[in-house]
Amino acid sequence: SRKVISKKMSEYLSVISHPDRFRIIEEIGDRELDVNEITKILGIPQSSVSQHLSALRSKDLVVDRREGKHIFYSLRFPWMAGWLLEGLKLLEEAKWELDPQFYEFT
């Protein structure tokens, strides 16, 4: 039913709504990255990256693959990164006032 679907979508959006999780999804895109690579890209502590990946995995948005001691993460649905970036058009079209240094989508 629509009510069940809306609730499920709300749960997914809640998980990805954290700015760092959004960035993780954006950075992974259609490739695999390990925690160290994500930590370098985002510039946040490794423990935070691990917690964010755990939250994303809890909804099966991120999957992992082990290679020796390394664990590589990828998006279960690689198109999701493009979908989120496409959503940024909302900010452009709504002409929301943002700090110019953060308003660089291209």
Gap between the terminal Cα atoms of the chain = 38
Q: What is the pLDDT of residue 100?
A: 59
pLDDT, one tens digit per residue, over 8-66 is: 889 888 999 999 999 999 999 999 999 999 999 999 999 999 999 999 999 999 999 99
- The pLDDT of residue 59: 92
pLDDT of residue 98: 58
pTM for this model (two decimals): 0.80
Q: How confident is the model at residue 85 (pLDDT cuts 50, 70, 90)?
A: confident
Sequence-distant (≥ 6) Cβ neighbours of residue 35 within 8 angstroms? 46, 49, 50, 53, 71, 73
Is pLDDT above 60 for 102? no
Helix (H) / strand (E) element for 2: namely helix 2-16
* Beta-strand runs (E) in the chain: 33-34, 62-67, 70-75
CA 98 remoteness from chain centre: 21
Top-confidence residue, 90 or 58: 58
**Closest by alpha carbon to 36, among 47, 52, 25?**
47
The encoded tokens of residue 59 equal 């909804």
